[in-house]
Structure formats: structure tokens, C-alpha cells
Structure 1
């Protein structure tokens, strides 16, 4: 992944929020991401597919749930960019994290 590819992938606010939320929270399923961002399943899934195609995310199916996480082979410099945003702008994700914590019927991971 090149810096241009990373920044093109993260240029959309929804994709940026998805990635930062996964950096912060770890592996999440589509329904958790929908609740956190308060967006529809088609919109979230479309953005997740783009992030997976960019090499930022990997997905894992467990029963009826598909979980997404930051790709383990993401370059360290790309991780540092996201970590810097999380460290310097923690309030940027506060609403999303609160939405996630308030989620009813949150799936329990294995």
C-alpha cells in the first residue's frame, strides 16, 4: 500500500470512521458498525468492501456474522497515521463509541 492509496481510501468520512473505530475497538461485525455510525446496512457494507479491496481490512465469517478487522499486514506507517488521529483527536470517535456501547442485542464474539 502506498500513501496515496491509503489517503484515497480514507478520504471518505464514513470509511475513515469505520477504520478508526476498528483501530479503537478491534474486530467488529456489520451490525455493530451500523449501530455505531447510525447508517444503513447497504451503505456500511459498500464502504467495508472498498476498505477490504484497498487492503485496509480483512473479514472473517463466524456463523451468521461477518467480522471486520484491520488487516494484519497493514504497513506500520499506515497504522501510525491512524494511531495519531486516535491519540490527537479522541473526541472525534466519542459519539460512535457511545453508540456502540448503547447497542441492544450486541453479538457476543466466540
Structure 2
């Protein structure tokens, strides 16, 4: 398997808890977009402020696609499949979570990942 690099928002509690949750099962390189060398990955600050990016091999995934990939690699294949299968619904769900990080449902998800 290729190395997996994740470019995420290091100031986001859900993002940090997600990274720690992933590290329990898979080897990743996690880079906070606030301090990462984004041009090295062909990414901009504007792009990374909107969604997570996964770079593995010659593939770059973002948003819901990145989340589905990480879930599959971690062994959560059913959830990965559901996100992928849902298409625009999964992408809309990702955008909702990203835009509502301080909402009760997102804070609950963050706490669940922390345990």
C-alpha cells in the first residue's frame, strides 16, 4: 500500500479526533494545512480550508471521497460503501459537517471518535 498523507484542519476538534482515530488502525502522515507546504501537493490554502485531502500514490481525493477512502482502508468498508454509494447525498453531508463544526451533532461525533 502507498503512503497515505492527509491534509486537514489542525484547528478543528473533529478533524484532530478523526486523525487520532485513524492512527489507531492505519499508518498515515497527517499535515495541518495551516503549516503544510501546500504547493508541494498542488493545493491552495483556499482549497484546504474547505475540505480534507488525501494523497496516496498518484491519487488525490477530497471531501467525502477522501473520508470514504480512509474508512475503507481502516476497515470500515460498509460505511465507506454507503458514503460512496450515496453520491451527492454523501457529498452534501460532508459539506454540512464541515460547515457546522460547532453544532451539537458534530460535537457528539467528535466525542465518539475521541473514545
User: Does the alignment reach a TM-score above 0.5?
Assistant: no
Q: Which range, TM-score by smaller chain?
A: 0.3 to 0.5
TM-score when scaled to structure 2?
A: 0.32
Task: Name the structure, 1 or 2, with higher relative contact order (CA <8 Å, separation 6+).
Answer: 1
TM-score when scaled to structure 1?
A: 0.33
